[in-house]
Amino acid sequence: MDVITVDRRTYLRSASRITVLAHLLGLTALVLLIFWLLHYREGLDLDSENPSRVFNVHPFLMYFGFIFFAAEAMMVYKTIPAEHQVQKFVHLFFNLVSLVLGIVGIHAVFKYHDKLHLEDMTSLHSWIGMVTFCLFILQWLFGFSFFLFSQASTVNTRARALPWHVNGGRALLYMAICAAETGLMQKATYLRLGGSRESHLMNVLGVLILLFGITVDISVALARCI
């Protein structure tokens, strides 16, 4: 019994530290993203006549609105001490915010394409991103139907569905990060930045986003061991 108690405390401390690190990496990536868009890319404005400013809403909302909030939803459910029902509602709400802001972010890139008369959905980045977002919507509906209201499904049904929901969420986080990384690569190639300072900044941003996803996943995995 003492060994089990020590192990639980060890996991708790580890999960807490990794969660703090995940937040630091996520917020650092956000600051760097904002700096890049404001300093190098003319800022962001969805209603601007400047197509570049319209486009810039896309990377901002797909990271901060979609990836960051989805990751927060994962961490708040497993690492924040609260009543289980409260955790579920906050988890659901954060994912809903992620979904809504993601829709606006996708709208921004389609609007940018319309302004420049470009074709939609032609790149690997767009394919991965759209598949990820569609699966995210299904994941949200799945979680809402099975887990928010206990009367909507039996205990056995929820028990069988839970591993799929948890691991599906983790997979979607990595898919979203993959979309972000390919998006940065596509943008850098389009701009032909070479070895410029902006190119180095984008590389650092990509690494931070990847590390953010990894630490979020580890944080949630450790918390599940408690």
Do 172 and 132 meet the contact criterion of CB atoms below 8 Å apart?
Answer: yes
Q: Give dist(CA 7, CA 147) in Å, integer.
A: 29
Q: What confidence category does residue 205 fall into, taking pLDDT thresholds of 50, 70 and 90?
A: very high
At 122-179, the pLDDT tens digits run: 999 999 999 999 999 999 999 888 887 666 567 788 888 888 998 999 999 999 999 9
- Is residue 180 over pLDDT 90? yes
Domains held by the chain: number: 1
Helices (H), 117-152: 124-143
∠ CA 148-149-154, nearest 5°, is 110
- Could you give the CA distance from residue 66 to residue 130 in angstroms, rounded to a whole number? 12
- For residue 224, the model assigns a pLDDT of 63
| pLDDT tens string 58-117 | 999 999 999 999 999 999 887 777 787 888 889 999 999 999 999 999 999 999 999 999
pLDDT in the model for residue 156: 84
As a whole number of Å, the end-to-end CA separation of the chain is 14
Note whether 201 and 40 are within 8 A (CB).
yes
* Beta carbons within 8 Å of 103's beta carbon, 6+ residues apart: none
pTM reported for the whole predicted model: 0.90
SS3 42: coil
The three-state secondary structure class of 149 is coil
Round to whole Å and give the CA distance between 68 and 72.
6
Report pLDDT for 4. 44
Q: What CATH number is given to the structural domain containing 151? A: 1.20.120.1770
Range(s) of the domain holding residue 202: 2-224
